[in-house]
């Protein structure tokens, strides 16, 4: 990646905003390091007598780590099964890496999951110990409640970090219950709620939000996409600056800024000095990937035309050009479906799927819809047990998840006479009429046979599915090829002896052609992924060839979920 060419003096002239207070940024980074543990215990699902949980392990050191182990113990809970780790012991438990996730690069994260019983108790959050774990109690690291900061004395600003504690800047030890935030987080005089959705590739990057030329808040970014929220009475242009970029390894990605409920996509903003193009910073087309130090101007907080003369468009035109939500017919009414296993009759055949709706479901909020297809011989329960390929724990209650079951008497998604696609369409009809679904953000993912079904879904239903994320798949599920484009994130092991990587590459090439991409690729996160260039607008193709066989790579969950969050 080319380095930013600006000198310090040029940056002062180019940025057109107040300088980042380096002392504050340093202090925030220090707080982030001390407030987050390298190992995070997360409860992904819970019911009357059982639970599904996961542990994320982040390498906070400056060098790669080979082989890891984690230990924990419950008072009343017990583990019954696990995945993506070798589990030993019977309380206390010890988990060690499997062959494909033992190496963790500096700043990278791996995770594993397990299912257990509560024995009449609540789902516990035990303290975690291990080769990369700090001594911080897991109960504090695992909490997903927002943190309200009182670090600013001015009554015009209230900071609310809705990202998970392990990846956010904990500015204050005082926090309010999540249920009270909507009513009480706006102080007297504050009337503008602003959320920046962003990530950093190394967890060293920072962003600073300014409104009307006044700095409001700075954050150190996590390596997964998170929301960074502030509420302020200030008015004027909303500008996000980004620092800690070295031109190659420390890049920032800003997905969007939401101002008072209206989303403004980063790639739709013309005043962007951080994108690299035409061999210079700020050149080429605006982008959400920011490879240079700089800023993006998202327009006025109140919606009038921007103060900067370099941008002639208004916020209303930007909002109309962004990918706004499209609520289904189920929006605005109480949910007609509940969590758990559902049965639906499709052309005389009873089919089943498992539904997972966020516990804080809002009938007026259109949710992403994610289908997780199981592997050969697997089941919907297997996908549920893996936390929907690890994506539920990353979703922050922003998505509804579905795990379909194969037809009786089959070993997977054979789609004989089109019955699996018909099953999918019946599920879609039921879900969209019974729940509040964002019809512009419907996704498909799966490993092995689940990857094959996702490949088929993307080719046959491109106007329904915004993007797919198949892993270790190929064109082996029969389908009708529409010839149209669908965004695709594709991963395949280079030593796969079950479904050859060459067959996966053939499916990839079909998407590259349909999406109008060139054969040029550039490296993207997570490594070793690459993204094809010059694809049709909104139809990217990412290819992740990893060292391994017929398995799920350690970056599957975060890589695919972050890709879905681009839309």
513 φ/ψ angles, rounded to the nearest 5 degrees? -70, -45
Q: Which residues contact 156 (CB under 8 A, 6 or more apart)?
A: 187, 189, 190, 232, 233, 234
Report pLDDT digits (tens) over 455-466: 999 999 999 999
Q: Look at residue 87 in the predicted model and tell me its pLDDT.
A: 87
Residue among 349, 343, 284, 273 at smallest CA distance from 308: 273
Predicted TM-score of the model (pTM): 0.49
Residue 47 has pLDDT above 80, yes or no: no
CA 526/CA 202 separation, integer angstroms = 10
Domain boundaries, the chain: 8-34+144-321, 39-135, 340-564
The total number of residues shown for the chain amounts to 567
What CATH code is assigned to 340-564? 3.40.50.1820
Residue 349 has pLDDT above 60, yes or no: yes
Q: Look at residue 377 in the predicted model and tell me its pLDDT.
A: 94
Grouping H, G, I as helix, E, B as strand and the rest as coil, residue 489 is: strand
Fold classification of 8-34+144-321 is Lipoxygenase-1 (2.60.60)
Q: Look at residue 142 in the predicted model and tell me its pLDDT.
A: 34
The chain-wide mean pLDDT, for the chain, equals 77
Parallel, antiparallel or unpaired: strands 103-104 and 65-66: antiparallel
424 φ/ψ angles, rounded to the nearest 5 degrees? -60, -45
Report pLDDT digits (tens) over 168-202: 222 222 222 232 222 223 333 456 889 899 988 88
The C-alpha angle 200, 543, 100, rounded to 5 degrees, equals 80
CA 120/CA 123 separation, integer angstroms = 9
Q: Of 113-122, 180-189, 251-260, 382-391, where does the model show the most confidence? A: 382-391
pLDDT band of 325, cuts 50, 70, 90: low
Question: Is 5:280 a contact under the CB 8 Å cutoff?
Answer: yes
Averaged pLDDT, 129-146:
49
Q: What is 39-135's CATH number, 1.10.8.80, 1.10.150.530, 2.60.40.290, 3.40.50.300?
A: 2.60.40.290
pLDDT band of 340, cuts 50, 70, 90: very high
Q: How much of the chain exceeds pLDDT 70, in percent?
A: 75
Q: Look at residue 320 in the predicted model and tell me its pLDDT.
A: 31
Same fold, 39-135 and 340-564: no
Largest CA distance in the chain: 72
Report pLDDT digits (tens) over 264-320: 888 888 888 887 776 667 766 778 888 778 889 888 876 543 433 322 232 222 233
Taking the alpha carbons at both ends of the chain, their separation in whole angstroms is: 24
Residue among 239, 192, 255, 218 at smallest CA distance from 398: 255
The DSSP result for 54-118, as a single string, is: EEEEE--SSS-EE--EEEE--SS-EEEEEESSEEE-SSSEEEE--TTS-EE-TT-EEEEEEEEE-
Q: Look at residue 246 in the predicted model and tell me its pLDDT.
A: 57
pLDDT band of 324, cuts 50, 70, 90: low
CA 107/CA 558 separation, integer angstroms = 13
Label each residue of 439-482 as H, E or C: EEEEEEEEECHHHHHHHHHHHHCCCCCCEEEEECCCCCCCCCCC
Lowest-pLDDT range of 8-12, 286-290, 556-560: 8-12
Report pLDDT digits (tens) over 358-393: 999 998 889 999 999 999 999 999 999 999 999 999
């Amino acid at each position: 990646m080319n380095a930013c060419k600006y000198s310090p003096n040029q940056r002062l002239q180019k940025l057109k905003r107040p300088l980042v207070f380096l002392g504050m940024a340093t202090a925030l980074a220090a707080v982030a390091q001390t407030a987050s543990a390298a190992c995070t215990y997360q409860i992904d699902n819970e019911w009357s007598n059982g639970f599904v949980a996961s542990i994320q392990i982040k390498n906070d050191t400056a060098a790669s780590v080979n082989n890891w182990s984690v230990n924990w113990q419950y008072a009343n809970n017990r583990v019954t099964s696990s995945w993506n780790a070798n589990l030993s012991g019977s309380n206390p438990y010890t988990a060690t890496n499997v062959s494909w996730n033992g190496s963790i690069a500096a700043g990278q994260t791996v995770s594993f999951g397990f299912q257990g019983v509560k024995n009449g108790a609540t789902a516990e959050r035990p303290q975690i110990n291990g080769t990369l774990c700090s001594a911080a109690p897991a109960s504090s690291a695992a909490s997903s409640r927002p943190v309200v900061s009182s670090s600013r004395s001015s009554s015009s600003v209230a900071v609310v970090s809705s990202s998970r504690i392990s990846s956010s800047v904990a500015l204050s030890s005082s926090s309010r219950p999540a249920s009270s935030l909507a009513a009480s987080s706006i102080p007297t005089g504050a009337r503008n709620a602003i959320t920046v959705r962003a990530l950093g590739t190394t967890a060293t990057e920072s962003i600073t939000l300014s409104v009307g030329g006044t700095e409001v808040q700075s954050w150190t970014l996590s390596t997964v996409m998170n929301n960074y929220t502030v509420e302020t009475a200030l008015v004027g242009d909303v500008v996000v600056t980004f620092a800690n970029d070295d031109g190659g390894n420390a890049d920032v990605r800003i997905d969007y800024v939401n101002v008072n409920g209206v989303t403004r996509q980063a790639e739709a903003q013309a005043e962007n000095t951080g994108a690299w193009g035409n061999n210079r910073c700020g050149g080429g087309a605006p982008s959400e990937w920011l490879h240079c130090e700089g800023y993006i101007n998202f327009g006025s907080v109140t919606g009038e035309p921007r103060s900067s003369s370099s941008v002639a468009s208004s916020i209303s035109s930007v909002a109309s050009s962004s990918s706004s939500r499209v609520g289904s017919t189920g929006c605005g009414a109480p949910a007609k479906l509940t969590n758990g296993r559902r049965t639906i009759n499709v052309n005389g055949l009873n089919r089943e799927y498992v539904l997972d709706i966020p516990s804080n479901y809002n009938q007026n909020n259109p949710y992403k819809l994610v289908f997780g297809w199981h592997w050969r011989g697997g089941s919907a329960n297997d996908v549920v047990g893996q936390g929907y390929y690890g994506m539920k724990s990353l979703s922050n209650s922003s998505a509804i998840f579905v795990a379909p079951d194969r037809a009786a008497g089959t070993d997977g998604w054979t789609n004989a006479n089109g019955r699996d696609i018909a099953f999918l369409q019946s599920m879609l009809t039921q879900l969209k009429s019974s729940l509040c679904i964002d019809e512009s953000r419907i996704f498909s993912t799966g490993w092995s046979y689940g990857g094959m079904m996702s490949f088929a879904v993307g080719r046959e239903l491109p106007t329904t599915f915004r993007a797919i994320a198949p892993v270790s798949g190929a064109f082996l599920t029969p389908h009708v090829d529409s010839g149209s484009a669908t965004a695709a994130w594709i991963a395949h092991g280079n030593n796969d002896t079950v479904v050859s990587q060459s067959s996966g590459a053939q499916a990839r090439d079909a998407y590259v052609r349909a999406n109008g991409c060139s054969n040029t690729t550039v490296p993207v996160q997570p490594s070793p992924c690459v993204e094809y260039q010059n694809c049709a607008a909104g139809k990217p193709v990412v290819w992740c060839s990893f060292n391994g066989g017929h398995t799920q790579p350690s970056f599957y969950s975060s890589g695919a979920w972050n890709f879905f969050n681009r839309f």
